[in-house]
Structure 1
Amino acid sequence: MTTSQGAKKAQGRVALVTGGNGITGNAIIEYLATTTTTNDWSKIIVTSNSPLESKIKDPRIIFIALDFTQDSRTLIEQMQPVCTQTTHTYFSSYIHKDDFRELNHANEKLFENFLQAITTVAPNLENVTLQTGGKYYNIHIQPARNPLREDYPRAFPKSQNFYYGQEDFLKEHQKGKNWSWNVIRPQAIIGSTYKPNGMNSALTFALYFSICKELGTKAPMPTNRRFWEGYDDVSYAPLIADLTIFVSTRLSCANEAFNCTNGDVICWKYLWPQLAAYFGIDPADADVSAQINKVEEPLEGTAEQFFSLNTWAKDKRPVWDKLCEETKTANSKKTFDCGTWQFQDWVFQRTWSALLSVSKARRYGWTGYIDSLDSFIATFDELAKQGVIPKRDVMLIIFHF
């Protein structure tokens, strides 16, 4: 993976990173802490609605607990003592609601409250970067026009996609101001964080494969033939951080949206068995080609899945707890509650491919890349290092005996 190079340095840059416990927020913090100096960034202000659980050590990190569901006036009062020197803000906060209308309204307000507050508090603000995602292109609803590019027209009304509302508010609020904006649109984020959360597919895969290995069962991917044999892409969180800092610190990238993926294309038919092999499962026991080929190929645009991962997981908590006891990682038991079982069913039911073009980022000089298999393995290794899942070598010893 390459890192941002040649960014114009400015003494005294101050970053404000929201969602510090989230996958992307944590990646941005780690990026700034490990690849920059005090001359590049003098402070790294981190916010979250809950106590920061990151183990990243850097004297520049300052934590402030903020709840962006509060109105901007309240946030201004809370941010004033800490955030006035902010020059660059990175917003990746999210609030989940089961009701679609509530979800849209809540997340639009979340960003509006934050933006109104920080633009009032920070007189030297230079850039606001908002993270949205592949759902901007409504790939969760219908087949995509591949490869998806940043300038494609919106397919649905703004009321049906809160990313539209967030981006529109950002652009409108910036008019006549001295600061610039950027939007980063990743696809299927792969990464790790010290606080397990329900938005991490790699974590769910680790739970699934580990439990299958413990039970001595096969580990089929619960999908359909079109998705199994089709093409997909994912976005490694450290790579998202790299692009985020790259574009937000270059005038040539000001006021632009950028897709972000690993830079390669995956086919689950080949990747899934490789992921299973990491956990000691015979790749042949993860290949579902024979089962899927027995049924008629589904029509593109429909939803089909030959078994539900969410249903499968309902009685697996005792198995996971037993594995954590056997590997002496009892603290990992709580990780099971963060499995994205229902979300993965929704993804695996898709009968269409969705690919985000990163050509625009390339044209603007970004060269970030990582092989997607490597990004999964790095994430699994990091989750084990963080104590979120048992370490692989310990699991394989237990399974062997």
Structure 2
Amino acid sequence: MAFKKALVVGASGVIGHGIMRHLENLAGWSVVGMSRGLAPRSMAAMPWITVDINDARALELHRDMLADVTHVFYAAYVPDADLAREAEVNAAMLRGLLDGLQSCRSPLQRVVLFQGGKVYGLHLGPVKTPMRESDPRHMPPNFYYDLEDLLVERSSMSDWTYTLLRPDIVLGAIPGQPLNLAMVIGAYAAFCKALRVPFRFPGSQAGYRVLMQATDADLLARVSVWAAEASIAAGQAYNVTNGDLFRWENLWPALADHLGLDVGPPMSIRLVDHMKDKGELWADFARRFGLVTQDYRQAIGWAFGDWVFHTGFDVVSDLTKLRLHGCHELRSTDEVLVEKLGQLQARRLIPPLHDVA
């Protein structure tokens, strides 16, 4: 079996965390994480590089860990309200990493780049559905386009190839990441329980009824390894979701029933504003239940919940290409959310939902 070493860039995020955990015990692989910050406490025992990938000299200092990297899973992202600036910054990061790996003479075979709904223009408004990998680009700027073009250019002059994966609403069980919807739902449920109020959907009427999709972080990790190894995946882009569709009007009451909460009608609030005053209650949770993240400002990404719950148009990806190319992973989003809420409680990232009064 050929030796494979993975470098997971953005390893502390919801996508990177899932890949690190999957590869940690996968035969034939070794793995090292990379981020701008230190490894999270839950991942402190794993090989880790803390570095600014824009700094070629800093990357060279880690030559001993990079010189045998064969596969890169790239999930790093720096947001910016200025989309042109966002594209410039993120392209510079990937360029810096590729330059660093080339300088370290890493025997690179494939780069797996994670994109998202923005590649189809979801951040700009309604899009054609189902979204297909062959859909034309929208008017730039879009940082995903810059990253993809960079991979196309660099791979054409190198021995390595690339694959693009396009998940949607990745559901994982890690602390306070800004794009972690499971954490948003779990924390919101904990507040509802503690305050003895119904578990009302905190979004718009339209958002309650549109078709949605999601991607289990563990499923995405398995598909990522397939994408890194399958010869057919070289130079390809794939949508990756659980394979089902849902409407919150059906899923939300099912979650409420699982949690033993009343539902009530949707309540069109903005969580970023409406949950500002819950810091003391979170601090009480942290003391009583030994929560991992005690700082309320760092614990929950309410803004991402607002974006998802107020989406007023269908979000549907076509998975035909992924299936035809031989990857058949499927999961029920209902089951995934229940699973993630259980994991969040077990890892003391949210209070135990059966006892938060």
Computing the radius of gyration from Cα coordinates, the structure with the larger value is 1
Residue 358 and residue 120 in structure 1: after superposition, are their counterparts in 2 closer, same or farther (change >3 A)?
farther
SS of corresponding position for 2:85:
helix
1:258 corresponds in structure 2 to 238
1:225 CA displacement: 2.7
1:386 CA displacement: 1.9
2:14 corresponds in structure 1 to 23
Query: Among residues 271, 281, 291, which one is paired with 1:309 in the alignment?
Result: 271
Q: Deviations over 1:220-247 (max 9, x none)?
A: 2232332211100011111111111001
SS of corresponding position for 2:61:
helix
1:44 aligns with 2:6: no
1:181 aligns with 2:142: no
1:335 CA displacement: 5.1
Give the 5 Å matches for 1:319-330: 319-325=281-287, 327-330=288-291
Rounded to whole Å, the distance in 1 between the matches of 2:157 and 2:183 is: 43
1:352 aligns with 2:313: yes
1:54 CA displacement: 5.6
1:102 aligns with 2:82: no
1:53 corresponds in structure 2 to 40
Residue 176 and residue 281 in structure 1: after superposition, are their counterparts in 2 closer, same or farther (change >3 A)?
same
| TM-score, normalised with respect to structure 1 | 0.83
2:51 corresponds in structure 1 to 66
Q: In the alignment, is the contact (CA less than 8 A) between 1:134 and 1:356 conserved in 2?
A: no
Query: Among residues 36, 61, 72, which one is paired with 1:78 in the alignment?
Result: 61
Q: Deviations over 1:142-163 (max 9, x none)?
A: 2121110111100222xx2100
Rounded to whole Å, the distance in 2 between the matches of 1:386 and 1:163 is: 33
Q: Which range is displaced more, 169-178 or 343-352?
A: 343-352
Rounded to whole Å, the distance in 2 between the matches of 1:343 and 1:398 is: 24
Rounded to whole Å, the distance in 1 between the matches of 2:334 and 2:297 is: 23
Query: Among residues 246, 270, 280, which one is paired with 1:318 in the alignment?
Result: 280
Equivalent AA in structure 2 for residue 146 of structure 1: T
1:240 aligns with 2:231: no
1:115 CA displacement: 1.8
Q: Deviations over 1:28-57 (max 9, x none)?
A: 1111123x22xx12x212212222126469
Moved beyond 6 Å, runs of 4+: none
Rounded to whole Å, the distance in 2 between the matches of 1:55 and 1:397 is: 24
**Aligned pairs, number:** 357
SS of corresponding position for 2:162:
strand
SS of corresponding position for 1:221:
coil
2:112 corresponds in structure 1 to 129
Query: Among residues 133, 139, 142, which one is paired with 1:156 in the alignment?
Result: 139
Rounded to whole Å, the distance in 1 between the matches of 2:152 and 2:103 is: 16
1:114 CA displacement: 1.1
Q: In the alignment, is the contact (CA less than 8 A) between 1:320 and 1:336 conserved in 2?
A: no
2:335 corresponds in structure 1 to 374
Rounded to whole Å, the distance in 1 between the matches of 2:102 and 2:341 is: 38
2:251 corresponds in structure 1 to 271
Residue 119 and residue 335 in structure 1: after superposition, are their counterparts in 2 closer, same or farther (change >3 A)?
farther
Equivalent AA in structure 1 for residue 309 of structure 2: F
1:299 corresponds in structure 2 to none
Rounded to whole Å, the distance in 2 between the matches of 1:86 and 1:75 is: 17
SS of corresponding position for 1:315:
helix
Residue 57 and residue 369 in structure 1: after superposition, are their counterparts in 2 closer, same or farther (change >3 A)?
farther
Unaligned runs of 5+ in 1: 1-9, 292-305
Give the 5 Å matches for 1:155-234: 155-157=138-140, 160-193=141-174, 195-234=175-214
Equivalent AA in structure 2 for residue 170 of structure 1: L
Rounded to whole Å, the distance in 2 between the matches of 1:365 and 1:50 is: 36
Q: In the alignment, is the contact (CA less than 8 A) between 1:321 and 1:330 conserved in 2?
A: no
Residue 227 and residue 127 in structure 1: after superposition, are their counterparts in 2 closer, same or farther (change >3 A)?
same
Query: Percentage identity across aligned positions?
Result: 25
1:85 CA displacement: 0.8
Rounded to whole Å, the distance in 2 between the matches of 1:278 and 1:75 is: 49
Rounded to whole Å, the distance in 2 between the matches of 1:361 and 1:213 is: 40
Unaligned runs of 5+ in 2: none
1:24 CA displacement: 1.0
Rounded to whole Å, the distance in 2 between the matches of 1:123 and 1:347 is: 39
Instruction: Provide the aligned C-alpha RMSD in A.
Output: 2.0
Q: Deviations over 1:265-323 (max 9, x none)?
A: 011101112223343312x33x43xx7xxxxxxxxxxxxxx322222111111222233
